[in-house]
Amino acid sequence: MSHEQHDAVEVITAKRDGGRLSDSQVDWVVDAYTRGAVADEQMSALAMAILLNGMEREEIARWTAAMIASGERMDFSSLSRPTADKHSTGGVGDKITLPLAPLVAACGVAVPQLSGRGLGHTGGTLDKLESIPGWRAGLSTEAMLRQLEDVGAVICAAGDGLAPADKKLYALRDVTGTVEAIPLIASSIMSKKIAEGTGSLVLDVKVGTGAFMKTPARARELAETMVALGTDAGVTTVALLTEMSTPLGLTAGNAIEVEESVEVLAGGGPADVVELTVALAREMLAAAGRTDVDPADRLADGSAMDCWRAMIGAQGGDPDAALPVARESHVVTAPADGVLTRLDAMAVGTAAWRLGAGRARKEDPVQAGAGVRWHARPGDAVRAGQPLMTLLTDEPARFDRALAALEGGYDVAPAGTAYEPGPLVIDRVG
């Protein structure tokens, strides 16, 4: 990395005027911002210029490398098996990491899954797992390596040492309307994943109303950018574009998503959750060079469940403990006889968030038992007055705003209306 001196205004105006930042400008501004020599208002101006004017592939690669260089890198080369990781761009009811990590581990590939917490309508994997009594998200690097060798899977919080530039910039993007910039999303995700040191990476890029990328074209652009970044950094990277206009499974929340994940590991669970878990597992195994095992067999024979129990236990959790249950519930009933033709992921995600399953600010607590359980999926026949959804929370005052979020969030069409579900996996990049 070069450390030629620049000044922030020069870098901002270069991008404001549609120019390409030089390698030394990128290196300098990321480093100076991490050190506090570039102010938040200057970085937010640059982030907005990037959102409006974009970045070229080499420029994004350099930006990503500078973010990685801001911190430490992990190394899993000492492990006796190859590593693969998965990253989802965030969805509703997206509990896939929970059954996926132990499933891939049961197939002989180690999964170092550094996960995050939820913000807004997208749930956080760590928040879900923390609903299990005793389970801890924080692990030292030594403990993480030991667990990867012994159990084969770990889901934990990323240490502060990985890409500290990203931690600062992420918080800034959140409050300045620059979250959606593809170069910034791609470099944020990939700087952490490359620094994490995984050998291969599968990206689950969500498309639809409940996703950051609302259209297949935008999702494909993001997927192609991230696959290029991973490939350029020597990480075998593929991406699946998957449907997120309808929430996944039958639950959105914390404890209730854990319960659904355990059903999948027991060989049951909702068909869409099983389909996506197995599809991503196959991609991870292929990327890690293990095509001799079929993950569907490991769900059937109980070995994925054994891995889950070992993974939860290794982090202090009790896999047999009863999960927290919300104190209050409210049932939403079907307005008429007919067919449920739409259940909007954003509406459900916002309702779960308002019920206490998510947070508005990073420091807010979440309720373990809160969330939304739906009793029908698009395509199902419903009768007037039958339960359509159950809202769960410890604080009944939250029901009104959750119900407001669900208004207009689902459609019941006359009986006999044809419903054609689209594919869950829309496309593959890589």
Catalytic residues: 87, 166, 173, 188, 192
DSSP single-letter state for residue 355 = I
- Beta strand 153-157 with 338-343 is unpaired
Sign of CA dihedral 233, 97, 342, 406: negative
- Beta strand 410-413 with 251-253 is unpaired
How many CB atoms are closer than 10 A to CB 285? 24
Calpha distance 213→158 (Å, rounded): 25
How many CB atoms are closer than 10 A to CB 375? 17
Q: Is 123 helix (H, G, I), strand (E, B) or coil?
A: coil
365 Ramachandran zone, left/alpha/beta (phi>0; psi -120 to 50): beta
For residue 130, give the nearest of 250, 247, 253 by alpha carbon: 253
Calpha distance 168→77 (Å, rounded): 29
- Beta strand 236-243 with 410-413 is unpaired
